[in-house]
Copies of this chain bind each other. A is one copy, B any other.
Amino acid sequence: MLEKTTRMNYLYDFYQSLLTPKQRSYMSLYYLDDFSLGEIADEYDVSRQAVYDNIKRTEAMLEEYEEKLLLFQKFQKRSKLISSLKEILNENSEKNMEIFSALAELEKLD
C-alpha cells in the first residue's frame, strides 16, 4: 500500500496538469493530505462511492498516461544516472586530494 501511495504521488506529480480540477482536488486530498474517502465525500457533499469511483478512474488514467509517456520511468532512470555521475565526481575529487598531498610531499623533498 505504501508503495502504491508513493507511485500514485509520483504519477500525480507528473500528470496532474492533464486532469480536471475535480480530479485534482480528490487526488490531492486523498494522496497528499491523507483525507479518508468519507471526509472527502463530506467536504464535497457527494456519496463516498462517488469519491471512490472518481479516484479509481483517475488512478487508471494516470497509469494510462504513464504507459504512453513513461515520464516516471524516465525520471527514475535519469535519477539513477545522475547519482552514479555524482559518485564518480566524488571519487574523482578524493583522488585529486591524494594527488595534492603527494605533490605537497614532493615539494618538501630536496
With an 8 A cutoff between CB atoms, is A69 at the interface? yes
With an 8 A cutoff between CB atoms, is A18 at the interface? yes
Interface size on A, residues (CB 8 A): 6
A–B pairs, 8, beta carbons within 8 Å:
A15-B69, A17-B68, A17-B69, A18-B68, A18-B69, A69-B69, A69-B71, A71-B71
Nearest CB in chain B: distance from A11 CB, A:
13
**Across-interface contacts of A15 in B (CB, < 8 A):** 69
**Across-interface contacts of A18 in B (CB, < 8 A):** 68-69
**Across-interface contacts of A17 in B (CB, < 8 A):** 68-69
**Across-interface contacts of A71 in B (CB, < 8 A):** 69, 71
- Tell me the complex Cα distance, A57–B69, Å: 21
Q: What sequence of 0s and 1s flags, for each residue 45-75 of chain A, a beta carbon within 8 Å of any chain B beta carbon?
A: 0000000000000000000000011010000
Q: What sequence of 0s and 1s flags, for each residue 2-19 of chain A, a beta carbon within 8 Å of any chain B beta carbon?
A: 000000000000010110
